[in-house]
Amino acid sequence: MQDFQKKVMEEKKELDIKIEKLDGFIRCNATYKILSKVERMRLLEQLEAMRWYTRILSERIVAFNENVERTTEAIS
């Protein structure tokens, strides 16, 4: 696995942790409920964007694995 692929995997791992934390804050933290409606909407939009980004990273990781399989088959 190449260095940039490792970085993508690490980035996804870190992003998933941040998504869990933000999702938990939105669902369970009393502070969220006292924020302005506009700020709550921003946090929801941020969470949506983070989830979109992690899906893209997942697709890239799948493609890395598919490329490894194709390369291995070509060598065999």
Domain map of the chain by residue range? 3-75
pLDDT score, position 1: 81
Q: What's the whole-model pTM score?
A: 0.83
Under DSSP, the state recorded for 6 is: H
Question: Using CA atoms, how far apart are residues 48 and 62, in angstroms rounded to an integer?
Answer: 21
Write down the number of H helices and E strands in the chain: 3, 0
Amino acid at 72: T
User: In this predicted structure, what is the pLDDT of residue 70?
Assistant: 63
Q: What is the pLDDT of residues 10-37, one digit of tens each?
A: 999 999 999 999 999 999 999 999 999 9
27-67, pLDDT tens digit by residue?
999 999 999 999 999 999 999 999 999 999 999 999 998 87
